[in-house]
Amino acid sequence: MKSLQKRFGGMRTLLALGVFVPVLLCGLLAGCQPSATESGVDAPAAEESALASTEGAGLPGDFENNDAGFLPDSFYATECINAGNRGCNSCHPDLHETIKDLSILEHGLGEPRYGKSYTYMDCITCHSMKRSFGAMGFADAIHTLHLSNETFNDDYSGNCWNCHALNSDGDIVMWDEYKYSSDFGGYINSGDPTTQYWNARRGYTSGNMSGLSYANNLALDVEVSQPTIENEDDLYVLQNYEVPDTATIAAEDYRFVVTGTNNDREFTLEELKALPATEQQITQCCLTNPINGGFVASWPAKGVLIEDIVEACGGVPEGNGTVSVVTGDGWDLCRNLNLAELIKGKAMVAYEFFGHELTPGWGYPAVTVMPGQGAPRWGKWATGLEFSSEPDSGGNWVSVAKMPRAMQGAICSGWFDPVADGNEYKLGEAIPLRGYAYVLNQLDDQGGDHHLAQIAISADRGATWQTIDVPADYDPMQWTCFETSWTPEKPGVYTLQVKSIDAGGYEQIYPASVILTVTE
């Protein structure tokens, strides 16, 4: 059996050697194709050495080089489902590398965080939001891009099933979602003990034809906490437009302009810093944080509460119930926010994080942090506040949660350990498990309250869930992290899943999943 880690490990070595990258990775994207020749890499030689170091087999991802991938080697896993050559990462082990040269305006995604790599999930959050905003539907483009590409067609024997799968109802789905589903291996509830028994009687002792193993009814000893991130580089950086000039403005030239108050004022950075300061931990979560994503973090911030700015400006006139953040790049999803809600949430204009000034990418000189609100409502490179009587742009929790794949950040979870698929452990070893769960703390249109109530963990593809209650005194605006360890009783290939359960009656539809192997 070849584990994913081994395959990916092999690929990483190739990438480190700098061979083969343009041909393999960029070759599939028209945008960076020229670099294959410009870089001067001797492609045929590179390809030869690449082949030599992949154990004499064809390319990882080559559909005719049947491979069981993360599954134990068997006729079904290798010949029938060819699990090792399917999904984006089988040809693009580093998807961020694949897209990073597209401009910021096209893909404002920074480096992956927490040691994660980009997966299909990092793309589909935005690319499923084709109705109004977010990224375009890319199905037509991605199909054409691949099917008109020589590398995909000839070197990879590429076809529909590199990327797609058929579920038990015969629907065409994405392999990268299907590989974590309870339908995997041909039984709709494969994790169910009755199904496992049926399979075991036919010789599939792990309980699934594919060789996947299950652990039903987990009873782990789980600890929860609400920490800030230890490593400040784990705070994601993302922008929708070009980084504006205000990101590097000299402190003495910067002005923070406040209008719509009883006594409108302009503040220099020094004057802002002279107002009463507040330090607090804040959880920031992009609404499009992918399933198992890294666009979420909890960090220490210092700044001035919006309430204290209002006070410094002599209050706001009756009727000015909303506030808009003015930003250096013109980002405008932080306009017409409900002032009372922001004050209650201790929203502030932050000019420091981790004990030092903000960096250009993170919104220098000032960012408005809006605890409990999705990160699109935060304004980086903030240059002022406009208080007004415009109507509030509205709480939209329910409509957001109804786009569960696109707006996963409203109710989300992810793994820090194991951080990705493919880790191997020895039987008897206690496997450390760590991750986060978060629910956007907003009122919905009906005034319903939403915050994280429980974290649920499964090792049988969702047939049974262990639920962990979030303590009632936890801050609903912060993420909750969990930590535990698990010692499986049998060797096998397991799937661990975690999901968030909201106090307002919703639960995360697509859990965050990781596949790991336990060897004898």
Ligand X SMILES: Nc1nc2c(c(=O)[nH]1)N[C@H]1C(S)=C(S)[C@@H](COP(=O)(O)O)O[C@H]1N2
Residues 279-308 that bind Mo ion (CB under 5 A): 286
β-sheet bridge partners, residue 172:
166
Of 90, 239, 336, 458, the residue at the interface with ligand X (CB under 6 A) is: 239
- Tell whether residue 286 is a contact of ligand X (CB under 6 A): yes
x-marked contacts with Mo ion along 138-177 as a string, rule CB under 5 A: ----------------------------------------
**C-beta of 234 vs 392, nearer to ligand X:** 234
Q: Should residue 376 be labelled a site residue for ligand X when binding is judged by CB under 6 A? A: yes
Residue 222's contacts (CB-CB under 8 Å, 6 or more residues apart) are 455, 457, 466, 468, 482, 483, 484
3-class state of residue 462 by DSSP = coil
Instruction: For ligand X, give the closer residue by CB, 22 or 244.
Output: 244
Q: Is 237 in the site for ligand X (CB under 6 A)?
A: yes
Element (H or E) spanning 15, and its range?
helix 4-17
Please say which residue, 33 or 240, places its beta carbon nearer to Mo ion: 240
| Dist CA 514 CA 420 (whole Å) | 6
d(CA 165, CA 179): 9
Which region, judged by CB under 5 A, interacts with Mo ion, from 80-88, 144-152, 210-218, 368-376? 368-376
Tell me the three state secondary structure of residue 198: helix
Stretch of 91-99, 236-244, 249-257, 341-349 contacting ligand X, by CB under 6 A? 236-244
Print the binding letters for residues 329-368 with ligand X: x by CB under 6 A, - otherwise: x-x------------------------------xx-----
* CB closer to Mo ion out of 216 and 240: 240
Q: Which residue has the tokens 């154990």?
A: 55
- State the Cα angle at 68 between 62 and 70, rounded to 5°: 105
Residue 308 CA, distance from chain mean position: 34
239's contact among Mo ion, ligand X, none, with CB below 5 to 8 A by partner kind, is ligand X
**Cα–Cα separations (whole angstroms), residue 31 to 157, 235, 497:** 22, 28, 35
Among Mo ion, ligand X, none, the one that 381 touches (CB under a kind-dependent 5 to 8 A) is: ligand X
- Beta-bridged to residue 84, according to DSSP, are none
Binding partner of residue 206 among Mo ion, ligand X, none, CB cut-off 5 to 8 Å per kind: none
Nearer to Mo ion, 412 or 433 (CB): 412
Of these partners, ligand X, Mo ion, none, which one is at the site of residue 510 (CB under 5 to 8 Å by kind)? none
CA-CA distance, 264 to 260, in Å (whole number)? 7
Give the range of 64-72, 256-264, 327-335, 502-510 binding ligand X by CB under 6 A. 327-335
Is there binding between residue 236 and ligand X (CB under 6 A)? yes
* Cα–Cα dist 401/406, whole Å: 9
Smallest gap from Cβ 124 to ligand X, in A, equals: 17
Site for ligand X in 69-128 (CB under 6 A): none
We find the least distance from the C-beta atom of residue 107 to ligand X, in angstroms, to be: 12
Q: Which C-beta is closer to ligand X: that of 76 or that of 436?
A: 436
CB of 236 to Mo ion, least distance (A): 9
The one among 240, 259, 359, 396 contacting ligand X by CB under 6 A: 240
Question: Which residue in 59, 247, 375, 411 binds ligand X (CB under 6 A)?
Answer: 375
- In contact, 135 and 127? CB cutoff 8 Å: yes
State the nearest-atom distance from the C-beta of 244 to ligand X, in Å: 8
31 binds, among Mo ion, ligand X, none (CB under 5 to 8 A by kind): none
CB 310: neighbour CB atoms within 10 A?
A: 20
Convert 314-348 to b/e letters by CB count within 10 Å (16 or more is b). eebeeebbbbbbbbbbebebbbbbbbebbeebbbb
Kindly identify the residues of this chain, within the stretch 291-310, that bind ligand X according to CB under 6 A. 295
Cβ 415 vs Cβ 484: under 8 Å: no
Sequential DSSP letters for 132-154 = SSSSPP-HHHHHHHHHT-HIIII
Asked if residue 327 binds ligand X (CB under 6 A), the reply is yes
Strands, DSSP E only, in 111-196? 164-166, 172-174
* Residues near ligand X, by CB under 6 A: 235-241, 284, 286, 295, 327, 329, 331, 362-363, 375-376, 378-381
